Copies of this chain bind each other. A is one copy, B any other.
Amino acid sequence: MKPHKISFVGAGKVAWHLSRHFEKAGHSVCEIYSRNPKSAAQLADSLYHAEVVSDPDFRESKADIFLLTVSDDAIESVCRACIFPPNAVVAHTSGGRPIEALSVLQNPKGVLYPLQTFSKGKEIDISQVPFCLEFDSDEAEQALYDLAASVSKSIYLADSHQRRVLHVAAVFACNFTNHLWTLSQEILQNENLDFDILKPLIAETIEKTMNLGPENAQTGPAARKDMLTIEQHSLYLSGNPALQNIYKVLTDSILKHTP
């Protein structure tokens, strides 16, 4: 594997994790640019050679890969604000944005989408993280494949449409499930009950899903078509119409999925 020189535009959680893993794998991180100079400085401090730059004019940069680790909404404006060296590969890391979000650039372009949720300060086994790649040229393909393969065993080619679908599916599988745990915790807290009592059940539920597949692991009143319990739950939730509506919508969907 060829060691690359990488610069990051954006110093959030994705940059935080990718930069240290790419360094560990033998690449070097040259520059960090962020609208928030404090985040950029903190990230640079945690790396070997990285330098904070205050101006997104990278014409003098030695980096051969620029990773745009900014929020989805900011990718296009960042492309307009930055000046990259002409032959450097520029890639964003978003599941939700097409490669065309970079189209204002003349550089070789691509997407390096790590299909994982990152938290500051929490280590992750990067070797298990699926990296979804897209590129518009051989240069971008080679560079992004080098990066992904140097840290992960799980590499997929996924075009913008497939990435969008993966992202939508991930919202259902992760963001929405986490929110349901938040709602569940609120229901318990309102009655002075502790969320911890549910943790063995949650752990077993996920184990069943992973082993049997979710379609074979469904339990609960809707899967049993236990309409009396459903009615009583709905009555209990009637003081909170938003919560009651979530209960109704998901219950209806389970009923519709149950033969």
Contact = CB atoms under 8 A, between A and B. Distances in A.
Contacts of A154: 197, 200
B223 A115 contact: no
In the assembly, how many copies of this chain are there? 2
A247 B169 CA distance: 11
B115 A197 contact: yes
Q: A-side binding surface: helix, strand, loop or mixed?
A: helix
Interface in A203-223: 203-206, 208-215, 217-223
A124 B208 CA distance: 11
Nearest to A215: B182
A220 B253 contact: no
A25 interface: no
B180 A223 contact: no
Nearest to A188: B169
Given A182-B218, A221-B96, A167 B233 contact: yes
B162 A193 contact: yes
Contacts of A247: 168, 171-172
A95 to B, nearest CB: 9
A166 to B, nearest CB: 6
A170 B193 CA distance: 12
A81 interface: no
A220 B171 contact: yes
A185 B214 contact: yes
A164 B246 CA distance: 18
A181 B238 CA distance: 26
Nearest to A205: B174
A104 interface: no
Interface in A133-161: 154, 156, 161
A46 interface: no
B115 A201 contact: yes
A165 interface: yes
A61 interface: no
A187 interface: yes
Given A178-B208, A185-B214, 5 more contacts: A115-B200, A169-B188, A177-B180, A182-B214, A195-B213
Closest 3 CB pairs of A and B: A175-B220, A181-B214, A173-B184
